[in-house]
Each structure stands twice: as C-alpha cells, then as structure tokens.
Amino acid sequence: MTRPDRLLSLTALSVPHPAAFRRAMLSSTQALHSWYFGFFQIPRLPEALVGSRQGRALQANLMRSGLPAEYAHRYAEHMREPGALTAAINWYRGLRPIADARPIPVTTPAMLLWGDRDPFLRRRGVLGTARYCTGPYRLEILDGVSHWIPEQAPDRIVELLLPHLAAAVG
C-alpha cells in the first residue's frame, strides 16, 4: 500500500485490506473468529498448548479449521522442528490488526481470493476491502473452500491468477 511502485499487481488469499479487517473486528463477529490473535500474545503458553502431544493438538486444530488431513499432518510435523512453532506464532505476535490498520488506498491492481467456508475471516472484512482499493480490484469468492485455499483449490488459484498477472504486465 505504501510502495505501489514496487508492485505490478497484488493478490491476497484470505487476507482483507487491514482497514477493512479492523472495521470488521470492531463492528461484527470477526473478533470472535480471530481470538487466537490475542491468545498468541501470551508468552510460552501458546507454544505449550498448541505443540502438546507431539503436535497432535495442532494437527487436530488444523483439520477442524478445514485443512485436509495430509497437509495438517505435514504442517504439524514441520512445527515440531526446534523453534518452528515459536517462529510461526511470532508472526501473530508482530501483528497489530487494530492499531496498525491505516486506511491507505491500494492503487495497484489487486485481487482478493476468499473461501466462503473460511472459519477465521468473515464476510464483512472481505466485502469491505473494495472500499480501500482505488485501482482495478477483483474479489473472487470460492464456494465450499475454507481458509486453506492453496491446499484446497490450487487449480482455481492458477486459473484466476494467470489472467490477473497478464493484465498487470499488459
């Protein structure tokens, strides 16, 4: 947003504009679906709980969120590597979705892909993203897809991404 000169296009998967997300957090049930942002701010406790039972707790949570079992198993195994789980949780610790959500317009051609079965990102933030895009913008809602778009709909991503990128390089 702050350096559109560095991009030809932008494609986001399951991530709305920060200001749209902030607005949804304050005016809808989005905060209830993003409770883990706050939980991950607690030192050490998330690692202990999420990493418990040799990663089986993480794997079960991933599968409950819609991630296919084979990916959930693989990702949970990766998180058992020393420091991996803390590094992943630290990504959330670095986020400040309310404080850092400035309404900077996206001028770069942008596309947002969202699965209508996403348990983490609710519709209000998704639909609100258009308000902050002043350049060409496209929203694609993927029916029956959860938060895990690359794992569940890789062919659809390619089908949508190729013309979006081609238009950007024109």
Residues 163 and 108 in one domain: yes
Residues 58 and 107 in one domain: no
> What is the number of domains present in the chain?
2
Structural domain ending residue among the three candidates 52, 68, 93: 93
Residues 14 and 59 in one domain: no
Which residue segment(s) compose the domain that 88 sits in? 35-93
> What's 143's domain CATH number?
3.40.50.1820
Q: Give, for all 170 residues of the chain, the pLDDT tens digit.
A: 889 999 999 999 999 999 999 999 999 999 999 999 899 999 999 999 988 888 899 999 999 999 999 999 999 999 999 999 999 999 999 988 777 788 999 999 999 999 999 999 999 999 999 999 999 999 999 999 999 999 999 999 999 999 999 999 88
Q: What is the DSSP string of 30-53?
A: HHHHTHHHHHTTSSSHHHHHHTTG
Structure tokens at 14: 């399951």
